[in-house]
Amino acid sequence: MREIVLTREDANTEFALLTEWLVEDRTEVSAGQPVCVVETTKATVEVESPGEGTIVQLYAEDVEVELGKTIAYVAETADELAAIDAKAEERPAPKPAAGDRKATRKAVELAELHGVDLSGVEKRGFITEKDVEELIARQKASATPAAGPILAGVSTDGVSLPSTFDLDERAGVLDPSFLASLDHDAFRALSMGSKIAALREAGAQIGEGVDVGEGSLVVASRIVIADGVRLGPRATIVCEEIVAIGELSQFGADLELRCRRAFLGAGIWAGRSIRFGGGGHRDPWATLTVGDLAFVGDEAFVNVCRPVLIGREVFLTMRSMIVTHNIGHSVLEGFENRFAPVVLEDRSQVGLGAVLYAGSRIGAEAIVASNSYVVGEIPAGAFAIGVPAKATGSSSHKLSDARRLELARRMIDDLHELLALRGHAVSAIEEGDPRGFEIDGTRVAFTPSYRGGVEAPAVILALDVRGDVTDGIAVVDLVGRRVHGSGGVVLDSVREFCRKRGIRLEPGPWSYSGGLV
C-alpha cells in the first residue's frame, strides 16, 4: 500500500487547499498519473500517484489539509484495500468543521422535535429557529394532518409500547349514561366489590384478583384492567378516553392519574403519591404510555399535556419530574412558550429529583443523575449529569465473561450471609457445582451452566439454562432474566434478592410478599 502525503515545503506554510481530485475515488490509477490539484500559498501543483492500484481518497474537494497528512492511499491488492477500509472504520468520524454547519442549535432541536427535514428550508445563510418554524407552518398548511393526536407523530424508536397499547377498540367501552350519571364522591365511598361490579356492569373490562383500594375513583370512557392489578387507597383515575392497565401492575396510595389516554403496561411497580396529569391533561395530545415492568418512584410528577412515552423497564425514581409545557409569560413579549413531548426509551433511568423539560428524550439505557435538569436529548447508553444535564460517560461498562462469573458466584455468598443475619437457619456453603447451601430443606445454589440433574427441592441460579426443569426445581436464568419452574418462599426470597441487584425476573411482578429477605 502506498500513501499520498502532502509534504511540507517551508516553515511558514502549514495548510494547503485540496482544490480538485482529477480521478474518481476507488478507481485504478497508474504510477505518475496526476490525481489531484493542491493549492499552496506559493503555487498550484498537481500531485502524482506514487504507484499503480486503486486510489482511496481521504478528503473531499475544496478542503484545507494540514501539510504532512496522508490524503489518499493507493492499494495494490484487494487485501490492502480491505486493510485500508478496516482502518477507516476504527477512525472516529471527523467532526464537522464550523463552516460545515449552517443550522443553529435551536433550529436543529426544533426540527428534530417535529421530525422535519432541514433541507426543506430554502435560504441563503444560516438556518434559524424562525426558519424552521416557518417551514413547519408551511408544511402544516399544505399537508393533510399528519399523525393523529394519540402519539402526535412522536418517534417510538427505542420505546417498547406497553402490552395494553394495541387493545381492540371495543374493549372496555363504558355505557355513556353510566358516566353521565356517575357521582364521584358516592363512587369513592363504595366497597371494592361494589365498585368493580358497577364498572363491569357498565362495560368496563376488569380482570380477576384486581384490588381497588379504599376511597378510590376510576372514571374513563374505556376501562381495561388486567388480572392482579392493585390500586392503592385513595387513587384517582380520570381519563377522558381510556385507561388500560396490564396484569400485575401495582400503584401505591394516593395515585392521581388524569389525562386523555393512559396505556399502562404489565408488571409496573409504582410507589405512593404519584401524580400523572397537571396542566393541559385534557388536551387532545395528552397521551401517557408506561412500558411493561417500568418503575415509578414515590411522589414522581409527570405532566401530560403532550405525549409522554415511558419505555419498558424504565426506572423513574422518587420525586423526578417530567414537564411537557411551559407557558410562563407572553410569547409576544419574547418569552418562551413550549409544548413538547417527553420520551424515555427502554431501560433508561432518571435519578432522584431530576427534571425533564418539555422536548427531552432519554436514549435507551441512558442514566440521568439525581437533581439533573434535562433539556433536549441524552444519547442512548450515556450517563448524563448536571444543570443542564450533559453526557459525561457511559451508563454501564462492558463485563468480561470471567468478571461476570465472579460476580454471579459471589451472589450466593451474599445471599447466604443475608439470610443468616436475618436469623434464618442456613447450612454452611458446600463447595462443588452447583455450589450453595440449604434453607428450610431447599437447596439454593449457583452453577455457571444449568443442564438438569438437580435433586428437588432446589432453587438454582445460573448464567446459562439448557437442561430440563423438573417439578420442585426453580431455575433462575440470571442473564436471560427469567425464572423457569416454580417455587415457594425460597424462590420469592431469591427473586427479591436479585431485584435488589437490578436483576428483574420475568414473569413478573417485581416485588414479593413473604420472602425471607
Partner 1 sequence: MSLFGVAAGMALRGRRPILEIMFGDFMALGFDQIVNGISKFREMYDDQVTVPLVVRAPMGARRGYGPTHSQSLEKLLLGIPNICVVACSECHDIGALLTAAVEDERPVFFIENKLLYGRPNRRPEDGHIGELAVRESGDPYAALTFSATDFTEGSATIVTYGGMLPIVLDAVTELVLEHEIFCEVVALSQLVPMELAAVLESVARTGALVTAEEGTLTGGLGAEIAARVQEAAWSDLRAPVQRIAARDGIIPSARPLEDAMLPSVEGVVDAVMAIEGAQR
Q: Which residues bind partner 1 (CB under 8 A)?
A: 12-15, 17, 39, 41, 64, 98-99, 101-106, 124-126, 128-129
Which neighbouring-strand residues pair with 207? none
| In the complex, minimum distance from the CB of residue 109 to partner 1, in angstroms, rounded to a whole number | 11
Nearer to partner 1, 102 or 424 (CB): 102
Between 133 and 417, name the residue whose CB sits nearer to partner 1. Answer: 133
Q: Are 366 and 348 in contact (CB under 8 A)?
A: yes
The least CB distance from residue 20 to partner 1, in Å, is: 14
Q: Which is nearer to partner 1, 71 or 367 (CB)?
A: 71
- Determine how β-strand 2-5 pairs with β-strand 70-75: antiparallel
Minimum distance of partner 1 from residue 194's CB (angstroms): 59
For cell 474537494, what's the residue?
61
Q: Are 459 and 443 in contact (CB under 8 A)?
A: yes
Question: CB of 447 within 8 A of CB of 466?
Answer: no
Between 105 and 500, CB nearer to partner 1 = 105
**Burial track 430-462 (b if 16+ CB lie within 10 A, e otherwise):** eeeebebbbbeebbbbbbbebeeebeebbbbbb
Minimum CB distance to partner 1 smaller for 10 or for 406 = 10
Sign of the four-CA dihedral 307, 312, 315, 318: positive
Question: Does residue 428 contact residue 443 with C-beta atoms inside 8 Å?
Answer: no
The single-letter code of the amino acid at 176 is P
Residue among 65 and 420 whose Cβ is closer to partner 1: 65
Q: Provide the minimum distance between the beta carbon of 12 and partner 1 in the complex, in angstroms, as a whole number.
A: 6
Shortest Å, Cβ 434 to partner 1: 58
Give the pairing of strands 15-21 and 63-66: antiparallel
Which residues neighbour 391 within 8 Å (Cβ) at sequence distance 6 or greater? Answer: 366, 378, 379, 382, 383, 384
Q: Which three cell numbers stand for residue 81?
A: 484495500
Closest CA to 295 of 361, 350, 236, 363: 350
Cβ-based nearer residue to partner 1, 21 or 446: 21
Nearest to 407 by CA among 503, 293, 490, 491: 503
Nearest distance from C-beta of residue 74 to partner 1, angstroms: 27
Cell numbers 396542566 correspond to 279
DSSP state of 123: -
The closest alpha carbon to 469, from 482, 451, 481, 493, belongs to 451
Residues 368, 344 contacting (CB under 8 angstroms) = no
Shortest Cβ 65–partner 1 spacing (Å): 12
For residue 14, the minimal CB distance to partner 1 (Å) is 5
How far apart, in whole angstroms, are the C-alpha atoms of residue 389 and residue 391? 7
Q: How far is the CB of 104 from partner 1 (least distance, A)?
A: 5
Looking at beta carbons only, is 91 or 124 nearer to partner 1?
124
d(CA 295, CA 351): 12
Q: Which amino acid is at 347?
A: R
Task: Compute the C-alpha angle 320/291/346, nearest 5°.
Answer: 75
Nearer to partner 1, 102 or 338 (CB): 102
Which CB sits closer to partner 1, 92 or 125? Answer: 125
Question: Residue 292's closest CA among 248, 231, 334, 258?
Answer: 248
Q: Which grid coordinates belong to 356?
A: 425533564
Residue number, 15 or 339, with CB nearest to partner 1: 15
- For the bound state, the minimum distance from the C-beta of residue 330 to partner 1, rounded and expressed in Å, comes to 16
Burial label for 398, CB within 10 Å (0-12, 13-18, 19+), is exposed
Q: Take residue 62 and report the three cell numbers written for it.
A: 475544496
Query: Is 161:288 a contact under the CB 8 Å cutoff?
Result: no
In the block, cell 511540507 appears at 8
Min dist. Cβ of residue 371 to partner 1 (A): 25
Which C-beta is closer to partner 1: that of 15 or that of 59? 15
Contacts of 464 (CB under 8 A, 6+ apart): 448, 449, 450, 477, 479
- What minimum distance in Å lies between the beta carbon of 342 and partner 1? 23
Q: Residue 8 Cβ, how far from partner 1 at the closest point, in Å?
A: 11
The residue (of 103 and 259) whose beta carbon lies closer to partner 1 is: 103
